[in-house]
Structure 1
């Protein structure tokens, strides 16, 4: 008999809908039920989907016609039998407020989960406690949801090579009880980073015909006598990782801005000339989010380096213009840091490794005078809050903040505190890092409109204890923000 081995996961939540995701261990139908009662005594059947081998037995049921800002209980079953009330209470989610609703909201974010010990998922127990204490509305997982290349800790004992290998690692990570519980109870928005494929991977030409990883990864694997196929990144392996990423992280995401070819049949392709990418946008009350895909078109070649392709650049600029005066709070979600530099960054795998594109983004923000804009990021294995003062062409001052939360559970970058380089690329005139966090943690962002509009960022450790906090008043009616001060 088929069993649901991963899930449920709640994703793609908006004011009138959501997506419910699950993965079974063999081909079967998956049925979705929702209701307002915790025991689902009022359960309504709302849809079904076939979980087939083509998608690794993963699938999603899309919900529609829901009420905004409303809590629904739900369950997924692998037969048509309605849920039994005595098996409750069932997990729940809350739909988003209507666009423009200025009620206060709080959400969490973070990145980088490589479980090596049973206690490594304690961070998710702490995050779940935080969810219950202050009604967190959703969370953002900003990449490295798996570590396909960590042969000593990924559950495989080798570097992932095939789609089934990558699927097995998702099952290894996402089966952790605390994480599985949290994914069922707190709506998630996800984007990949490098380890969903391999460490610091990139294309070596604009046609995306060949891929590569850093020389030191190859040397380490050679030293450990890893097979040749684990020491080199083939296009076939990228496609395998891409398929598993699609099945586990994209199926339940909001609609993509420009889906790659093959997405309509659940088999995304890597084709020359195809401008498709995995970036998407969503809104939540009075906040707007642009979730960047910084991986699918990344090129490191002697003649050219590229982070975002033209289609995503167009979408990002249009979004900045459209959201500028429409939403008081705007977030660019990037799996890699925009504002952080290090004296010891050999890989240059973040925005600092693509200086022309970093200047382009900062110039767009300055040229369009976008107030109330924040960067959310992860990846660094050390959290931070960075304030950047940007000068527009007519001399006005604009403040841009970057909030970083990383890792959930992974090796800590203990040198981040000492090796930070306050490099201010044009048009940034001044950078200030307010704090650095060098232990496993997650971040919580709170948006308030009354009595004083603003944004707070708080970092919590694996015991749900606050470590650092900043408060940023919103620049109402202008382009200037204030220096962070203790949250009132």
Structure 2
């Protein structure tokens, strides 16, 4: 029996990996045309998973596929709610075809009924799924229907802000009046949360037919995750945090990270080596090893790398950077990236491609006013104004979530320096564009950057798409619109100078936005360079109800481009 999935994960021109969760130990077989592959499940915390790699596919094709568990067909599903959707396919990359990447972040797992829609709006991912399936009216060009990849940039699940369905599950297991209350406690609760996030028929179909890559952000674990040494010490002192972070990182490895990796990267992963080399008898249970990996990754950030990269022939290189778990937060040193992570980023930020795309859940370039406010908060929290300032800065950055790249100035400058070297041709042929793609901040915008000194050959762009479904409160919308103004940037720089923050190596400005819709963005590379657009769901008439066949439409929120 299939509990969750299939999810189509890493796909290139000739191969694809498909992830599933099953009800028990089994052999899972995926058949795509004349190609077929099987893999046994592995166990973790009483759950059963398989990752099946199908090879020998034809480039540039969309091949329908089926999934069988112990020889019994389970996909396509006989669920009547999935009946309107077309067959799931494996769309392999076509060398030379303009690459199209969808991206976004921050999606809560709540119902799509009248109450859920009134509180959280239309799910932009679900709306896009219905658009791809041809089940909704839209004014968009049909040629925009199929991205080559969707990149989820954090907060795929909310472990600390739980839905009614998740709370009901928690109540069945333990007393929510005791810590960690209605927040998630362990792997078992994470497994249920992922099921809620991915089981909606439209999104389940989309994830079965659109290749995906993912990186976590704070709510995948907890709000403000790894903000500072003080924050971490406070969490480590509780009697529940250890189980939470081990369950969160362990489930992330299974549900998200494993599918990010190509065959070579998986082969280099020590835990996957144990799984793939197991030859029975029975199912391999990796509960202890998974917990050990997660616990060590939390205690020693340089012991495991969550970042990943992939090339799309000679068009683009996608480098996805972990800006949460790789932080160094000791009293002696504060850094967004530990030495191992920084060296890996340095190794992968290179030229000799037309487009360099950098995915990081936290925007690298915030609105200048907000950037300077965060750099100022870090400076005084680290002692620029003495002991009173340290107390004030720490309180401010935890209360106001001032913990983006701007609040880790050394890491910001390190990466900015690498990007400027790429853009000036010091690391191979300069790309036409260098684009940071991000989420997290619950509003969307585009910024463009230039070197403070000299000239570069590449256009440097920050594009943010957030949220997919979790709108920003109105009062915060007004604040974000204010800090996006040039005057706020100038005022913020005066503030950061009072904290003795040196000038950044980049200058930048918000050129589009901000806007606050639930939306999903799409980036397309073309001969002219690059263009982007943001789309949102819309409901004609009353909000949806589960029994109604009517679906939301799709509308374009913004278009940017060409850039190049």
Q: TM-score when scaled to structure 1?
A: 0.81
Structure with the bigger percentage of helix: 2
* Equivalent in the alignment of 2:108: 114
* RMSD across aligned positions (CA): 3.1
Q: Determine whether 1:139 maps to 2:165.
A: no
Q: Determine whether 1:281 maps to 2:359.
A: no
CA distance in 2 between counterparts of 1:201 and 1:122 reads 25
Identify the range of structure 1 (423-432 vs 73-82) with the bigger mean alpha-carbon deviation.
423-432
When residues 79 and 205 of structure 1 are mapped into structure 2, their CA distance, relative to the original with a 3 A threshold, is same
**Could you tell me which of 78, 88, 91 is aligned with 1:91?**
88
CA distance in 2 between counterparts of 1:258 and 1:31 reads 20
**Could you tell me which of 53, 67, 71 is aligned with 1:62?**
53
1:202 is paired with a residue whose SS is coil
* Alpha-carbon distance, 1:53 to partner: 3.8
Matched-pair contact (CA < 8 Å) for 1:115–1:153: no
**Could you tell me which of 532, 535, 542 is aligned with 1:460?**
535
1:359 is paired with a residue whose SS is helix
When residues 303 and 154 of structure 1 are mapped into structure 2, their CA distance, relative to the original with a 3 A threshold, is farther
* Alpha-carbon distance, 1:257 to partner: 9.1
When residues 4 and 84 of structure 1 are mapped into structure 2, their CA distance, relative to the original with a 3 A threshold, is closer
* Equivalent in the alignment of 2:216: 192
When residues 410 and 440 of structure 1 are mapped into structure 2, their CA distance, relative to the original with a 3 A threshold, is same
Identify the range of structure 1 (358-367 vs 120-129) with the bigger mean alpha-carbon deviation.
120-129
Q: Structure 1, unaligned stretches of length 5 or more?
A: 36-42, 215-227, 475-488
CA distance in 2 between counterparts of 1:241 and 1:149 reads 11
* Equivalent in the alignment of 1:12: 10
* Alpha-carbon distance, 1:280 to partner: 0.7
**Could you tell me which of 217, 242, 253 is aligned with 1:246?**
253
Aligned length: 438
* Equivalent in the alignment of 1:165: 189
* Equivalent in the alignment of 2:416: 362
CA distance in 1 between counterparts of 2:318 and 2:558 reads 24
Q: Determine whether 1:235 maps to 2:242.
A: yes
* Alpha-carbon distance, 1:177 to partner: 2.1
* Alpha-carbon distance, 1:121 to partner: 5.9
Q: Which has the higher contact order (CA 8 A, sep 6+)?
A: 2
* Alpha-carbon distance, 1:212 to partner: 4.9
Q: Determine whether 1:473 maps to 2:470.
A: no
Matched-pair contact (CA < 8 Å) for 2:310–2:319: yes
Matched-pair contact (CA < 8 Å) for 2:420–2:456: no
Identify the range of structure 1 (287-296 vs 115-124) with the bigger mean alpha-carbon deviation.
115-124
Q: TM-score when scaled to structure 2?
A: 0.71
* Equivalent in the alignment of 2:322: 293
Q: Determine whether 1:448 maps to 2:508.
A: no
Identify the range of structure 1 (360-369 vs 380-389) with the bigger mean alpha-carbon deviation.
360-369
* Equivalent in the alignment of 1:104: 98
Over alpha carbons, which structure has the higher Rg? 2
* Alpha-carbon distance, 1:253 to partner: 1.4
* Equivalent in the alignment of 1:149: 160
* Equivalent in the alignment of 2:548: none
CA distance in 2 between counterparts of 1:418 and 1:168 reads 39
Matched-pair contact (CA < 8 Å) for 1:29–1:51: no
Q: How does 1:218-233 map to 2 (within 5 A)?
A: none
When residues 15 and 260 of structure 1 are mapped into structure 2, their CA distance, relative to the original with a 3 A threshold, is closer
Matched-pair contact (CA < 8 Å) for 1:13–1:95: yes
When residues 430 and 31 of structure 1 are mapped into structure 2, their CA distance, relative to the original with a 3 A threshold, is closer
1:146 is paired with a residue whose SS is coil
